[in-house]
Amino acid sequence: MKNLTSPRRVFLAALAAAALVGCKPSENSAPAAGGGGDTSGDIIVGEFASLTGTEAAFGQSSHKGTQLAFEQVNAAGGALGRKFKHLVEDTQSKAGESATIARKFVSRDKVVAVLGEVASGRSLEAAPVCQQFGVPMISPSSTNPKVTEIGDFIFRVCFIDPFQGKLISEFATKTLKAKKVAILSDVSSAYSVGLAQYFRESFVASGGQIVIEQKYSNKDKDFKAQLTAIKAAGVDGILVPGYYNEVGLIVKQARELGVMVPMFGGDGWEAQELIQIAGGEALQNTYYSTHFSPANKAPEAQSFVDAFKARFNGETPDAMAALGYDSARALVEAIKKAGTTEGKKLKEELAAIDFVGATGRTKLDAKRDAAKPAVIITTEGGKFKFLQSIEP
């Protein structure tokens, strides 16, 4: 584990900060028996992210967003007279790590809140732990509806897949004029299975036909059998609701087999690696929906893009970075409003959150989900290109 933010401060400072907010220094940051914890008075936040492994692009990006947010907040004095201490743990893009990490955050590090994950499947693993211990968890970008259904301590700052599935379906019918579509989904991913379902419902309701459905699993490398079956079925579009690694190979192999119809998917496509894996040429006539475009002219989006570039060597932020940033911002706003880091009060302020961040206005509905605009991106000359924006 790496401690990426402020250094430990002396115990006196902790006492002073605690006096300011009228609580004992042990309230949220006491070291657990047998070590760990923190005695500096900092507000400890735990983030779990796929920093390595197959979806490393997601975790790294979203972590840069949270890092930037806490650095800005700490430079401006923190909250409640205290600084944020931002811990991060790597899920390695694996199943089975997230609940263990959440448990460690809660019992050893005494975090006031948990941020993560990008992937719905891993958010679903950690959420029951946070719910059980009454520690608010905010997913930046998990879009499967089930994530926040785990309970009232679980939040997200992004839209959900019933919306995303419907907008992809509308784009397929109206813009691409697709009538007969194939679906090639990842059965090992809650996100993929869900997005396929919401697309299917909407596409069929608007008179379209799902001619063939094929499946794969995370880490598969050869999709020729599925793609050959799809080719034989004769479709005018293919939905691939997956993550960029497999999607990149699928698009590449489809074009190699002479399948040139439009291919489309959701936010899981978004990573520069997609272009590296598939190649710019194969990605012609492909489209995906996501949460953010750096081309967005809104002042909050632009100030985020500028700060991100300045902080990370000119790198342009993507949707995960923007949502990571907004997840940390939401937490900070809620702590300031609550005047405490106590879980129950914090949860109430999170439910009532309303601020404008990098991805637009973040206001949650009764299910603790955000309604936000989506964007559609295509690829041109080996570069992602903003196509259109869709209101919730």
Handedness of CA 31, 35, 37, 39 (dihedral sign): positive
Asked if 319 is part of the footprint of ligand PHE (rule: CB under 6 A), the reply reads yes
Cα 191 to chain centroid distance, Å, stands at: 11
Q: Which is nearer to ligand PHE, 80 or 319 (CB)?
A: 319
Q: What's the min distance (Å) between Cβ of 224 and ligand PHE?
A: 26
The secondary structure of residue 312, as a DSSP letter, is T
Q: Within 187-206, which residues bind ligand PHE (CB under 6 A)? A: 191
Residue 120 engages ligand PHE in binding (rule: CB under 6 A): yes
Touching ligand PHE, residues 78-107 (CB under 6 A): none
Could you give the 3-state DSSP secondary structure of residue 266?
Answer: coil
185 binds ligand PHE (CB under 6 A): no
Q: With respect to ligand PHE, which residue has the nearer C-beta, 195 or 259?
A: 195
Give me the least distance between CB of 218 and ligand PHE, in Å please.
Answer: 11
Our finding on whether 287 is near ligand PHE (CB under 6 A) is: no
In angstroms, what is the minimal distance from the CB of 181 to ligand PHE?
21
Residue from 268, 317, 324, 360 touching ligand PHE (CB under 6 A): that is 268
HSE (CB half, 13 Å, CA atoms) of 231? 16
Identify the residue among 40, 50, 74, 141 touching ligand PHE (CB under 6 A). 141
Query: Which of 71, 89, 125, 267 lies at the binding interface for ligand PHE (CB under 6 A)?
Result: 267
Contact 41, 29 (CB under 8 A): yes
- Give the H or E element holding residue 300: helix 299-311
Contacts with ligand PHE, 222-261, as mask; x by CB under 6 A:
----------------------------------------
Q: Is the alpha carbon torsion for 26, 29, 30, 33 positive or negative?
A: positive
Does 369 contact ligand PHE by CB under 6 A?
no
Nearest Cα neighbor of 169 from 203, 205, 215 is 203
Dihedral (Cα; 172, 193, 220, 374), 10-degree rounding: 50
Smallest gap from residue 358 Cβ to ligand PHE (A): 13
List 43, 49, 58, 322, residue binding ligand PHE (CB under 6 A): 58
Shortest distance (Å) from residue 285 CB to ligand PHE: 21
Who contacts 237 (Cβ-Cβ below 8 Å, separation ≥6)?
172, 176, 178, 180, 181, 182, 261, 262, 263, 264
Min dist. Cβ of residue 269 to ligand PHE (A): 8
Stretch that binds ligand PHE, among 10-18, 33-41, 76-84, 139-147 (CB under 6 A): 139-147
| Cα radius of gyration rounded to whole Å, the chain | 21
By the rule CB under 6 A, 154 interacts with ligand PHE? no
For ligand PHE, the closer of residues 141 and 379 by Cβ is: 141
CB 385 → ligand PHE: shortest distance, Å? 17
Among 40, 142, 169, 173, binds ligand PHE (CB under 6 A): 142
Shortest distance, position 268 Cβ to ligand PHE, whole Å: 5
Instruction: Name which of 58 and 198 has its Cβ closer to ligand PHE.
Output: 58
Residues 182, 188, 194, 200, Cα dihedral to 10° = 20
Residue among 134 and 145 whose Cβ is closer to ligand PHE: 145
From 113-121, 245-253, 298-306, 363-371, give the range in contact with ligand PHE by CB under 6 A: 113-121
Q: ∠7-80-303 over CA atoms, to 5°?
A: 75
Separation in Å, CA 240 to CA 111, 160, 188, 248:
37, 17, 14, 10
Give the neighbor-by-neighbor strand order of the sheet with 43-49. Answer: 2-3, 84-90, 43-49, 113-115, 137-139, 154-156
In the Cβ-directed half-sphere of 379, how many Cα atoms lie within 13 Å? 28
Pairing of strands 84-90, 2-3: antiparallel
Closer Cβ to ligand PHE, 41 or 317, answer by number: 317
- Binding residues (CB under 6 A) for ligand PHE: these are 58, 118-120, 141-144, 191, 267-268, 270, 290, 319-320
